[in-house]
Each structure stands twice: as structure tokens, then as C-alpha cells.
Amino acid sequence: MPVRSAELSSLSTALDELTRRVTVHAEAANAAEDEEAARELFAVERALANANRRLARLSTTLSRR
């Protein structure tokens, strides 16, 4: 099944929203001085941001074909 640009864009949008939601919880955990939860949530935030960057690179690569 070929990868469609529209599907990649939709996935990117979903990752953006999920990243924002995780960030809110990470910042709340940090403010509450729940270091373990904040640390893990910020790690998840970084992983989601990395996944979104990889999707963007893939989308760019595919659009050049």
C-alpha cells in the first residue's frame, strides 16, 4: 500500500496534538514537584517530537519522488 501525503499530514497533526497534551501533563507534574512523572512525561514529549520530525522528513522525501 503506497504512503499518501494526506495520511502523513493527518498523522503529523495527531502527533502535534498528543505532544501538546503530554506537555501540559509534564509541566503540571513538574509544578507539583513530581520529578519521576515529569521526567518520564518530558521523555515521552521528546520521543513524540522526534517521531513528528521523522514523519516530516519522510513526507519531504516522498514528495520529491
Label residue 1 by pLDDT band (50, 70, 90): low
In a domain, 7, yes or no: no
The 8-class DSSP code of residue 2 comes to P
Q: Answer yes or no: is 27 within a domain.
A: no
In a domain, 25, yes or no: no
Angle (CA) 59 21 31, round 5°: 135
The backbone region for 46, taken as left when phi is positive above 0, alpha when psi lies in -120 to 50, beta otherwise, is: alpha
The parent domain of residue 41 ranges over: 36-65
Q: Which three cell numbers stand for residue 5?
A: 501525503
**Rounded to an integer, what distance in angstroms lies between the CA atom of residue 59 and that of residue 10?**
11
The predicted pLDDT at position 29 comes to 98
pTM recorded for the entire structure: 0.88
Q: What is the pLDDT of residues 15-53, one digit of tens each?
A: 999 999 999 999 999 999 999 999 999 999 999 999 999
Gap between the Cα atoms of 9 and 5, Å rounded: 6
In a domain, 30, yes or no: no
Count of structural domains, the chain: 1
